[in-house]
């Protein structure tokens, strides 16, 4: 200390230099409270020295965050109720992570917390951690993260329990991983339905977490999850015995071993859908179908490397299968379908769909008809080797067939189609031809045969060879038609369609003639006179020869008509006025889209029709000004709304502002009279919100509407 006080002059201290050459001796200097220094100029330093102990020592603020995770975990698991846990989860990601990793068995009940800490009092009672699982949550795109899954696990645990979870991920680096699924597994033991789609970071560990914590899983959908292998599916099979519905799509690492485990352990499996899984072959399909032969009711196989063996197993062991879908099975030959039909196991099959299977030939289809006596629905798409002989032979065998659909089967001709109608028996109710280029008008001299009196619905779409000759046969063979759809048939004229109208005895209910450009007002006039008493839906979209005369005939005769589409027709303001003058016409949906000759003059008539309308389409009516539509919207929404939603479609027409529809939708809640009572804005808004989700016409974002709906509910 003598060196400190016994200095001789200014040279004893070096300006800016240290007092001690040994830095360890500085502690003695800092322990002195009051020290005298002579006045002198010193070198500048970055911060002042403080020589008092209280000021020199940095004060540390007390915080619960200094506790390790183990201590904080013990505190959080002793929270008295679900509301407290949800509130604490909002503090930080760390707290949310800890809360989401607390299992049900690790939670202390309210009584136990009171025993261990008598000072803790809460008026909120825990509503139960494991509920019935009636809540449903969905995450898509960038919202599919581990943090959101953790929040869902904590938030739904005490509010009835999470029952359904749908995750549609993206390729982002912050997607769902095993951490998020672990939170769901520990916090949502009531989960019954799980769908994982496009989750590249989810593998066997994440699926194993679900298997260990969610034993009530009944429906599992794994789509585009390449990291999941047989190991993860094996864990599900062993831990989830209640599995009834399994969907596997584009999971390249799931193979036969996983399906074998499912068939062995999941004894309640009812539905299986497998698509585009190259590692799955005959061994896996055979093991699964044979093990679940007594409960499996629906089988869908698409784009798999299976052969005739799989179809043979389905035909023999599919005793309970009622719905069978086979798509793009390139390795299945004619023999596979023949063996499946003769396997005598598909006695309960009711619906069968075959798409893009080159192995389906006349022989195979005939065998299916004989081996499936209860088959009611048959849908055939892109079967290039199926011809008239096979279709007629099948029709003779399938005595229970009710619905037949043929799409892009180009070897089917007029002979095969009408032959199937004549030989299908008394149960056939609906027949459809879609884009079958082999259909052409032929001069057929058919003998006097009994008509197909059971057929009620006939649909011919985009078959360019189907013309007046074919329609004349329809009129003779199908006298009990009620629903007729002739879409995109440019070869059909008045001469072909009039026999159908004249021979139809039951009365037409729904008629779709969209795209039949050669039909004129004469057809509509005859139709309304003979079938106006039953007609409910009429679609004349694109029939350019339809004029105001047709609208006048409709207004005079079609009192039950509720849906009318005259888009892109030659109708004018006079036709709209004729319908408005009718006192018995009660249209609910009217579409005049693309009618360029309808102008502002129709405004009062549209307002009058709006008293019963629930939907009005005035898109692309270039003669109607946007200001007229604005006034029309304001007038229409004042009419009573009785359980349905009035919709004005104008959003896609460029002259109208983009917010026209949004303006209409959000004006409605503030004033609406239903049955003479003024509804509260909140109740009507919620109903409009639900309808908006279905129609999707509003320009306001979904997030904004969700937020507004939540505020309204509160």
Q: Per-residue pLDDT tens for 424-474?
A: 878 999 999 999 999 988 776 666 667 888 999 999 999 999 999 889 889
Contacts of 160 (CB under 8 A, 6+ apart): 131, 132, 133, 134, 135
352, β-bridge pairs? 324, 378
| pLDDT score of 336 more than 90 | yes
Residue-wise pLDDT tens digits, 274-316: 999 999 999 999 999 999 888 999 999 999 999 999 999 999 9
- Once rounded to an integer, what is the mean pLDDT over residues 348-375? 96
Residue-wise pLDDT tens digits, 558-589: 999 999 999 999 999 999 999 999 988 999 99
- Once rounded to an integer, what is the mean pLDDT over residues 195-213? 93
Q: Following DSSP, what letter does each residue of 93-106 receive, concatenated?
A: HHHHHHHHT--GGG
| pLDDT score of 361 more than 50 | yes
Q: Select the more confidently predicted residue: 103 or 176.
A: 176
pLDDT of residue 451: 81
393: three-class secondary structure by DSSP: helix
Residue-wise pLDDT tens digits, 467-526: 998 898 898 889 999 999 999 999 999 999 999 999 898 899 999 999 999 999 999 999
- Once rounded to an integer, what is the mean pLDDT over residues 352-364? 96
| pLDDT score of 17 more than 60 | no
Q: Select the more confidently predicted residue: 112 or 608.
A: 608
d(CA 566, CA 548): 10
Sign of CA dihedral 103, 109, 112, 114: positive
- Tell me the whole-structure pTM to 2 decimals: 0.77
> How much of the chain exceeds pLDDT 70, in percent?
75
Contact 286, 309 (CB under 8 A): yes
Rounded alpha-carbon distances, angstroms, from residue 156 to 90, 137, 188, 196, 502? 14, 10, 8, 19, 62
pLDDT of residue 45: 47
d(CA 396, CA 423): 5
pLDDT of residue 77: 79
pLDDT of residue 448: 63
pLDDT band at 70 (very low <50, low <70, confident <90, very high): confident
| pLDDT score of 226 more than 70 | yes
Residue-wise pLDDT tens digits, 141-184: 888 988 888 888 888 877 778 999 999 987 666 788 999 999 89
d(CA 157, CA 168): 22
Most confident of 53-67, 76-90, 91-105, 409-423: 409-423
d(CA 373, CA 396): 11
470: three-class secondary structure by DSSP: helix
Residue-wise pLDDT tens digits, 107-154: 775 444 444 443 333 333 333 334 467 889 999 988 898 888 888 888
118 CB-contact burial (10 Å; exposed 0-12 / middle 13-18 / buried 19+) = exposed
349: three-class secondary structure by DSSP: coil
673-674 and 677-678 strand pairing: antiparallel
Residue-wise pLDDT tens digits, 369-408: 999 999 999 999 999 999 999 999 999 999 999 999 999 9
pLDDT of residue 632: 85
């Amino acid at each position: 200390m003598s060196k400190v006080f016994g200095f001789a002059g200014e040279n004893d201290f070096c300006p800016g230099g240290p007092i001690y050459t040994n830095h360890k001796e500085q502690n003695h200097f800092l322990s002195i409270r009051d020290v005298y220094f002579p006045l002198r100029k010193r070198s500048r330093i970055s911060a002042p020295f403080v020589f008092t102990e209280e000021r020199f020592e940095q004060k540390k603020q007390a915080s619960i965050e200094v506790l390790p995770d183990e201590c904080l975990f013990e505190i959080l698991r002793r929270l008295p109720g679900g509301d407290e846990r949800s509130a604490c989860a909002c503090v930080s990601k760390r707290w949310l992570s800890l809360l989401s990793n607390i299992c049900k068995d690790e939670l202390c009940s309210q009584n136990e917390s009171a025993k261990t800490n008598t000072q803790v009092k809460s008026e909120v009672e825990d509503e139960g951690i494991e509920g019935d699982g009636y809540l449903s949550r969905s995450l898509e795109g960038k919202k599919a993260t581990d943090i959101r899954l953790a929040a869902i696990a904590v938030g739904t645990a005490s509010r009835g329990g999470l029952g359904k979870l749908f995750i549609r991920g993206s390729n982002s680096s912050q997607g769902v991983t095993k951490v998020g699924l672990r939170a769901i597994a520990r916090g949502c033991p009531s989960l019954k339905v799980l769908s994982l789609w496009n989750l590249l970071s989810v593998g066997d560990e994440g699926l194993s977490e679900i298997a260990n914590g969610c034993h009530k899983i009944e429906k599992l959908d794994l789509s585009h999850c390449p990291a999941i292998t047989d190991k993860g599916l094996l864990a599900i099979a062993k831990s989830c015995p209640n599995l009834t519905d399994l969907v596997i799509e584009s999971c390249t690492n799931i193979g036969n071993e996983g399906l074998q485990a499912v068939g062995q352990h999941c004894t309640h499996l009812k539905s299986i859908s497998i698509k585009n899984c190259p590692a799955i072959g005959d061994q896996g399909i055979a093991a699964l179908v044979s093990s679940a032969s007594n409960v499996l009711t629906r089988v869908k196989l698409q784009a798999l490397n299976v052969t005739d063996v799989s179809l043979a197993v389905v035909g023999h062991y599919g005793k309970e299968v009622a719905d069978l879908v086979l798509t793009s099975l390139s390795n299945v030959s004619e023999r596979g379908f023949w063996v499946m039909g003769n396997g005598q196991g598909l006695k309960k099959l009711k619906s069968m769909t075959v798409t893009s299977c080159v192995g389906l030939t006349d022989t195979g289809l005939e065998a299916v008809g004989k081996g499936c006596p209860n088959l009611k629905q048959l849908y055939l798409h892109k079967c290039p080797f199926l011809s008239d002989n096979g279709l007629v032979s099948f029709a003779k065998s399938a005595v229970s067939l009710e619905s037949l659909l043929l799409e892009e089967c180009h070897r089917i001709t007029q002979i095969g189609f009408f032959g199937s109608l004549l030989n299908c028996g008394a149960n056939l109710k609906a027949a459809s031809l879609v884009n079958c280029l082999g259909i052409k008008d032929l001069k057929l001299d058919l003998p006097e045969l009994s008509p197909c009196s059971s057929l009620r619905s006939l649909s011919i779409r985009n078959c360019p060879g189907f013309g007046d000759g074919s329609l004349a046969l329809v009129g003779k063979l199908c006298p009990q038609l009620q629903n007729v759809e002739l879409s995109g048939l440019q070869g059909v004229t008045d001469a072909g369609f009039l026999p159908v109208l004249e021979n139809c005895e039951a009365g037409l209910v729904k008629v779709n003639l969209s795209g039949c450009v050669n039909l004129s007002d004469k057809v509509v006039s005859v139709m309304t006179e003979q079938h106006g008493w039953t007609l409910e839906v009429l679609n004349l979209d694109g029939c350019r020869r339809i004029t105001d005369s047709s609208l006048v005939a409709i207004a005079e005769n079609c009192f039950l008509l509720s849906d009318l589409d005259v888009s892109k027709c030659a109708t004018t303001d006079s036709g709209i006025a004729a319908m408005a003058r009718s006192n018995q016409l009660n249209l609910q949906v009217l579409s005049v889209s693309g009618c360029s000759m309808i102008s502002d003059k129709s405004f009062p008539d549209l307002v009058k029709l709006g008293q019963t309308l629930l939907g009005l389409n005035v898109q692309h009516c270039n003669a109607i000004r946007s200001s007229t539509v604005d006034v029309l919207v304001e007038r229409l929404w004042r009419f009573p709304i009785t359980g349905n939603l009035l919709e004005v479609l104008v959003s896609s027409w460029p002259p109208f502002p983009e917010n026209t529809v949004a303006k209409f939708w959000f004006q409605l809640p503030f004033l609406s009279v239903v049955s003479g009572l003024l509804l509260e804005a909140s109740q009507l808004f919620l109903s409009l919100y639900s309808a908006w989700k279905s129609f999707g016409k509003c320009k306001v974002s979904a997030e904004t509407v969700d937020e507004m709906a939540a505020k309204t509910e509160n």
